[in-house]
Structure 1
Amino acid sequence: MEVKELGHIVLYVRNLERSVRFYRDVLGWRQILPDGDKGRDVLPVPVAAFAAPSGRTHHELLLIEVGEDAAGLPRGRRVGLYHFGLKVGDSDDELREAVRTLQEAGVPILGASDHTVTHSVYIADPDGNEIELYIDVPGVNWREDPTLIASPIKPLRL
């Protein structure tokens, strides 16, 4: 077997409507489900599916509502998902625009890093799932030298 690519991410969320507003209205994902009355009864729980505007695949993010009383993510060292990365462009100007959008929406920036191959800012969704928003740094050829991903992490100044 050979994995060809990362296909999609599925997240449990407390409040589907709140999470849809975040992923659709703040991050700009294209919502594909539910689409009007289509898809409302697909699963026995409320869900929403999204695809990136690139149309790379059928869906890249699925949200499943589990209710406001669901346990939160544990803090500190733990096993499981740390964060997932979303590419927002190929230039620092595009990353700056993303930061402006986040600030206008009141989304706190948790951190910013220069990883040599990427410039990244870190945020959390309404349920505390950490997200890295990044750009590939122009002129850095990580395809020819994959070890560049292990470069020392530096503070990012946009």
Structure 2
Amino acid sequence: MLAIVIGWAFATFLYFKVAFDAAFYDGITIVAALICGILSSVCIFFGSGVYAHKLLRFNWTPGAVPARVPDLLSPTLLPFILICIVHSLLLRLVIFGFSKGLSRDISVFEGYGRNKQVSEEIVIFLLISVAPMALHYAMSVWGTYRNANKEV
């Protein structure tokens, strides 16, 4: 299990370094990308436990309890969203603390007065930060779906 967590940390470190450098003018620092990778692997590890608990009846005996996709999404979607929100907030704090240039690039709103709107930088940041979590969630749900619908 430790190897999987370290693998996720390394993969997300590389992903964040490349994605933030490609998407923004001021790239992310190596220290910030490393901390973001570690935080991502911790959130993924925590999410694995939550998803395993919520989907235990489908995984306990392969093929005994058949599952449809809504049966798998309904107990796990809210925890996934909450984990993504916490993960995004933590990444934003790390970027604020360790990557000042990138932190200035990511603004929540742009414009003044009545012309204020959500900036595209925050949307890009959220898409980048949620992508590893969404990949892990999809892998968890797909694995459970295949496991629950095995022919016994």
Tell me the TM-score range normalised by the shorter chain: under 0.3
- Say which structure is richer in helix: 2
The structure whose Rg is larger is 2
Structure ranking higher in strand proportion: 1
Structure number with greater CO (CA < 8 Å, separation at least 6) is: 2
TM-score normalized by the length of structure 2: 0.26
TM-score calculated relative to the size of structure 1: 0.25
